[in-house]
Amino acid sequence: MRKVSVLNKVKMMANIFLNIKLIPILVFLSVTSLDLVYSQNIVVKYVGSSSNSINLRYNYRELSDNYTVLNKDNRYLVIKSNKEQTIMCDDAIRSTLIYAQPNDTIEIDLNKKGLITYSSKNSVYRKIESEFINSCYEKYGPAKDLLSKKRWLLNHKQINPGDFLDENYYQEIQLLDKYHKDDLISNQFYKYFKSLYWSLSIINKIQNPKKVHGTFLEINNSLKNSDYLTNIPEYRIVLLNYTLSLMKKLKIKNDLFNTLQFISAKFSNQSVIDCLLYNRMKFCLLYQNVKIDKKSIALFQNKCKNTLFVEEISKDLSTDKKSVILNDILKKYDGKLVFVDFWASWCAPCRAEFPYEKKLMEMYPKLSFAFISTDKSRTSWEKASQEYPDILNQDNNFFLGTTSGDALLKEINVSSIPRYILVSKEGKIINADAPRPSNPKLKILIEESLNK
């Protein structure tokens, strides 16, 4: 599995922001007061015996792009949510969705083709809904916009594009209608996926200058249902692309303040305003190497009425918690052999290694661990950390934050993650690019170092 370059990720996301055809929407979890807001859970349980791992990404308008890895060693995912949502499998060989309602316990496995199958004791429909999703995936590709589908097809060259590149998703909708007519899927699933396919078709059409006018009318008409639609990630992409398309048409500079001001004036639905304002603030915090000006902060705090969004952005902007210095962290482990793990909440390969590190903790009690997050968002780091209470704790888990004055970090040059370093009892670096925890070579290195 290739390492993810942090620098390349930032550059890529910055370029996406400037190119309206490629804009994604970012959705993030505000961790404060969530228990008061979300009284229901969605539980996903891996019940299979395969040695393969399943990389999942889940989101909701007040949840982040959260990542987790399910396998034999880590079987459960619990999502706090009072609304339905889809959970995306990010594995290239099975880019499918899992649909779930609040209080669902979804049991997932892999079929002979390597695709996810699932069911729920809470609903007799879930099993057939899973079959519908897999059938669409095999016949028409993943439920993504055309640009993403074209990228997907590059990795599946043996497939004839055919109906895969239907910008209106007629085949998928036709099959969806048939399943619904035969009472094989729930009304909620039908409504959600109908809205999903419509949103995807709008994303495709908004990129076509000949279809922009009619597409704008469709989006305007959809705003009356935005309270429901904003729960669908693809619709949030529609709103964002719509906003930036209008600004471009009106020749309004799309800097942060102008964008926040335009959103506040253009839309009347508060949930739409909140969602878009939050997205733009979070994007700048994570992916743009610019300081957010006080005028933009004040506008956001005044116009955004979602307290979770305001609370999270305020926390990310706060300077009361200083960033840690790598050398200071290592001093805490004086006299101990330390395995240092550089990771981030958004890095699926990083999190896939956590179960292996748990085994190393049990196998080598004299080995210490230091987990150092390269996240730019403290709240994203905190939320991800909460998912691994048996691995990450306040003594071994650190938020790196600003790194400009960290001499040791510059010396070892952590430009991509996951990255691992083994440090001796004397504080000297034994290996500045140690094997991953899943690599058997790491055990040999650890044992050699412990016996010195």
Tell whether the torsion through CA atoms of 428, 431, 433 and 434 is positive or negative: negative
| pLDDT attached to residue 415 | 82
| pLDDT attached to residue 33 | 46
Residue 62 has pLDDT above 90, yes or no: no
86 within a domain of the structure (yes/no) = no
What is the C-alpha to C-alpha distance for residues 70 and 49, in angstroms, rounded to an integer?
Answer: 11
| pLDDT attached to residue 288 | 66
| pLDDT attached to residue 405 | 58
Q: 157 φ, ψ to 5°?
A: -65, -20
pLDDT tens-digit series, residues 205-241: 988 778 778 899 999 999 999 999 999 999 999 999 9
CA 334 remoteness from chain centre: 36
Question: 233-249 and 212-222 are packed helices; what angle lies between their axes, rounded to 10 degrees?
Answer: 130
What mean pLDDT is reported for the chain?
84
Tokens of 285: 């915090």
pLDDT band at 339 (very low <50, low <70, confident <90, very high): very high
Q: 134 φ, ψ to 5°?
A: -70, -35
Residue 408 has pLDDT above 80, yes or no: no
What is the C-alpha to C-alpha distance for residues 443 and 425, in angstroms, rounded to an integer?
Answer: 17
Provide the CATH number for the domain around residue 347.
3.40.30.10
Tokens of 359: 């085994």
Look-up of token digits 């398309």: 245
Asked if residues 104 and 119 have their Cβ atoms less than 8 Å apart, the reply is: no
Distant-in-sequence, close-in-space partners of 13: CB < 8 Å, separation ≥ 6: 283, 286, 287
Average pLDDT of the residues in 410-417: 83
| pLDDT attached to residue 52 | 85
Distant-in-sequence, close-in-space partners of 382: CB < 8 Å, separation ≥ 6: 31
pLDDT tens-digit series, residues 163-176: 567 788 999 999 99
What is the C-alpha to C-alpha distance for residues 101 and 113, in angstroms, rounded to an integer?
Answer: 26
| pLDDT attached to residue 38 | 59
Average pLDDT of the residues in 341-347: 90
What is the C-alpha to C-alpha distance for residues 111 and 107, in angstroms, rounded to an integer?
Answer: 13
Asked if residues 338 and 407 have their Cβ atoms less than 8 Å apart, the reply is: no
- The residue type of 269 is N
What is the C-alpha to C-alpha distance for residues 51 and 423, in angstroms, rounded to an integer?
Answer: 31
Question: How many domains, in total, are found in the chain?
Answer: 1
Distant-in-sequence, close-in-space partners of 376: CB < 8 Å, separation ≥ 6: 285, 286
Look-up of token digits 């290694």: 353
| pLDDT attached to residue 37 | 54
267 within a domain of the structure (yes/no) = no
| pLDDT attached to residue 317 | 84
Q: Which domain holds residue 365?
A: 326-451
Buried b (16+ CB within 10 A) or exposed e, 350-380: bbbbbbebbebbeebeebbbbbbbbbbbbbb
Distant-in-sequence, close-in-space partners of 298: CB < 8 Å, separation ≥ 6: none
pLDDT band at 35 (very low <50, low <70, confident <90, very high): very low
Average pLDDT of the residues in 92-102: 92
| pLDDT attached to residue 236 | 92
268 within a domain of the structure (yes/no) = no
The lowest-confidence range among 13-27, 245-259, 363-377 is 13-27
What is the C-alpha to C-alpha distance for residues 451 and 367, in angstroms, rounded to an integer?
Answer: 12
Look-up of token digits 């999502």: 79
Asked if residues 71 and 355 have their Cβ atoms less than 8 Å apart, the reply is: yes
Q: In 336-424, at which residue ranges do the beta strands (DSSP E only) sit?
A: 337-343, 367-373, 397-399, 416-417, 419-423
